[in-house]
Chain A
């Protein structure tokens, strides 16, 4: 992330995303596959790291084997096999949605994971309770803990969609776009941009 200044001095936090050209590696149609979809791939793989099946599949689109392949069912762009979808589909000022996997936080307590405020005060006989979850239910009735009770556990590493992010700037020669605000995931992680 970085930030940019507008002419009036307003500072906007931005994330830089590299948009490499996506190659159409398979076109599925209702006649052949029962549904319509486009398979897009990005990121070259070395030939020694790819299986023969993968090399031959991508060879149909005249490209080396790819690292990331994803199929899209709802699309508005008509492309045929071997064509590319590149950064020029974006314009400055576009509103985009970005899907990514959040950073893993490990096993976290309820205060961090669910925003609980902890139990009680520090004094008046309280002891080791400041980040505790408190009661998790009543006693003899219902004699059980309800499903979905918020407790401590693994946090992060979830698929998250950020909506309404603005494309602030485009650097077509470097394939970079600048998006306002933050996006899910660590540095150099892979995200999906939906327009």
Chain B
């Protein structure tokens, strides 16, 4: 039997095509923002450090270093404000949550690229 949450999710949440990405991947998120009645797209490029939740409530966190300061931003995967997600690089990591990157900087905070044939 289908659960009530699944039913509501299928009825109300718009289907979206996003590339499959994991923690460790480098992505660019194009996010729609409304400024003074006008809509424009802001892109946020960084490493995915966390995928969390399921269904309509699923989110992912992207971390980047901006002017030497670590910035993290959380996006709901199915948010209508996400214009698109571009997968730049696949990362080679051993964990699903990369919180250890927060304590690192410079060379040790790099993620090795995974070569996909």
Q: Of residues B11, B14, B32, which shows the largest number of chain A Cβ atoms within 10 Å of its Cβ?
A: B11
Q: Of residues A5, A14, A178, which shows the largest number of chain B Cβ atoms within 10 Å of its Cβ?
A: A5
B57 contacts across to A, CB distance below 8 A: 2-3
Of B18-26, B42-50, B74-82, B91-99, the segment with at least 4 beta carbons within 8 Å of chain A is B74-82
* Chain A contact surface mostly: strand
Task: Determine whether the beta carbon of B8 is less than 8 Å from that of A176.
Answer: yes
* Contact code string A1-17 (vs B, CB < 8 Å = 1, else 0): 11111011101001010
Task: Determine whether the beta carbon of B13 is less than 8 Å from that of A176.
Answer: no
**Min CB distance, A7 to chain B, in Å?**
7
**Min CB distance, A72 to chain B, in Å?**
26
Task: Determine whether the beta carbon of B80 is less than 8 Å from that of A16.
Answer: no
Chain B interface size, under 10 / 10 to 19 / 20 to 34 / 35 or more: 10 to 19
Task: Determine whether the beta carbon of B8 is less than 8 Å from that of A2.
Answer: yes
Candidates B56, B76, B79, B81; contact of A2 at CB < 8 Å: B56
Candidates B4, B32, B78; contact of A5 at CB < 8 Å: B78
A4 contacts across to B, CB distance below 8 A: 8, 12-13, 56
**Min CB distance, B22 to chain A, in Å?**
23
Chain A interface size, under 10 / 10 to 19 / 20 to 34 / 35 or more: 10 to 19
A residues sitting closer than 8 Å to B (CB atoms) are 1-5, 7-9, 11, 14, 16, 18, 169, 171, 174, 176, 178
16 contacts between A and B (CB under 8 A): A2-B5, A4-B8, A5-B12, A5-B13, A5-B76, A5-B80, A8-B80, A8-B81, A9-B32, A9-B79, A14-B8, A16-B4, A169-B8, A171-B7, A171-B11, A176-B8
B residues sitting closer than 8 Å to A (CB atoms) are 4-5, 7-9, 11-14, 32, 34, 55-57, 76, 78-81
